[in-house]
Amino acid sequence: MGDLQHLQDEMTAWRRDLHQHPEFGFEEKRTSAFVAAKLREFGLDVAEGLGGTGVVGTLKRGTSNRSIALRADMDALRITEQSDVAYKSTSPGVMHACGHDGHTAMLLGAAKQLACEGGFDGTVRFIFQPAEEWGRGALSMLDDGLMDRFPFEEIYGIHNMPGVPVGVLMTKSGAMMSAEDNFEIILTGVGGHAARPHWGNEVLVAACAVVTNLQTIVSRRVSPTDVAVVSVTELLTDGTRNALPGLARILGDARSFKAEVSENIEKQMRIIAEATAAAYNVSAQIRYTREFVPLINDAELADEVFAAARTFLPAESVQTITEPFTGSEDFAHYLNRVPGCFLNLGNGEESAPLHNPSYDFNDAGLAYGVKTHAAIVRRRLPEATAS
């Protein structure tokens, strides 16, 4: 118990240090250096600078040629923290509002425990990834040769979940998280005096019509059996109190679980935006990008995660997610290369939501993260039994 408590105390100190010094995506220089130093201290082989600021630690035991990967994200968000904790962010306008400080600390804890105790036969890659919030970090590491330089056959990742009790593990086979597409619609007309709208072709009324008409994509142009979300999040113009705008920008995102649904959303958006603009005698340009792909867990490996979790958690604390989330996660890019499983661990029923300025990772969850990582490694890379 003493060793476990010592590791818990260490992880708490690491986590709070990381929380106090958050760094935005691809800017995680201090965080990466912190991670690399700890991994070397634990005796791992360490590579830095993958995909910009990514770190990979390698730990080998036994003689097996099999290898698996465990991944944590390191980046913070451009949010101003609203809390009074002693370890509050010291970086103005940046905070760990999604728990990546906790994810990093628990994976470091797992690396230390597995390095000290072993109990597996094979190779474990500890992947510390930048820029998850951008949806660019996983791709940056993959494009930088991650799979060639540090090959692995399976991959696993953990994310905390507010509103779920600490000590509860949740995942599911198949589709777990959605794709995220971003869009920008630019309407161009002729602005002018607010008292004489007939002298120009202002765009604000047209923009409002486009926003309203976009709501018909999900309700009328996507099958009711498919999950889809289209959300307009910004409407910006160059108008002022007494001047009608000649330019309007409509921004937002769309979520789906199937490539064909994403393609249909884009198609219908272009039809609606261009036709609505024409009806108001203004022009429309549409920019549509795909930022995150759907996260699809391997069914067999999801079962393996459940089995590993039941070795240290009561049955009622190992739960199946019944409905996929329409949030997105760039861990999905790894799953396009190798099978694996992404899972959630409870952050407490009283936790503030993710991406909230009052959010804080619950340090009581760190030990469960370490146990989950270690149990997965030992189940997927079992030591040979004596005959």
Largest Cα separation within the chain, whole Å, is 92
Domain endpoint, select from 236, 263, 290: 290
DSSP type of residue 194 = T
Is residue 252 a part of any domain in this protein? Answer: yes
Question: End-to-end CA distance of the chain, in Å?
Answer: 32
How confident is residue 1, by pLDDT bands cut at 50, 70 and 90? very low
Residue 110: is its pLDDT beyond 80? yes
Same domain? For 266 and 204 the reply is yes
Residue 295: is its pLDDT beyond 70? yes
Distance CA 216, CA 74 (A): 38
Residue 209: is its pLDDT beyond 90? yes
Same domain? For 243 and 221 the reply is yes
Is residue 385 a part of any domain in this protein? Answer: no
Residue keyed to tokens 């970086």: 91
Give me the amino acid identity at 314: P
Same domain? For 14 and 83 the reply is yes
Distance CA 350, CA 254 (A): 29
Is residue 307 a part of any domain in this protein? Answer: yes
Q: Domain holding 22: CATH number?
A: 3.40.630.10
Same domain? For 27 and 142 the reply is yes
Domain endpoint, select from 261, 290, 319: 290
Is residue 167 a part of any domain in this protein? Answer: yes
Q: What's this model's pTM, rounded to 2 decimal places?
A: 0.92
Same domain? For 159 and 206 the reply is no
DSSP type of residue 317 = G
Q: Are strands 283-292 and 179-188 parallel, antiparallel or unpaired?
A: antiparallel
The alpha helices in 121-255, defined as continuous H runs, are 137-143, 146-149, 204-214, 216
The domain total for the chain is 2
Same domain? For 318 and 372 the reply is yes
Domain endpoint, select from 290, 309, 338: 290
Same domain? For 198 and 346 the reply is no
Same domain? For 284 and 308 the reply is no
pLDDT digits (tens, 9 = 90+) for 87-109: 999 999 999 999 999 999 999 99
Q: Which residues contact 63 (CB under 8 A, 6 or more apart)?
A: 121
Is residue 162 a part of any domain in this protein? Answer: yes
Distance CA 29, CA 23 (A): 8
pLDDT digits (tens, 9 = 90+) for 171-207: 999 999 999 999 999 999 999 999 999 999 999 999 9
What's the domain range around 352? 2-176+294-380
Residues 13-44 as b/e (b if ≥16 CB within 10 A, e otherwise) read: ebbbebbbbbbbbbbbeebbebbbebbeebeb
pLDDT digits (tens, 9 = 90+) for 2-60: 577 899 999 999 999 999 999 999 999 999 999 999 999 999 999 999 999 999 999 99
Rg of the chain (C-alpha set): 24
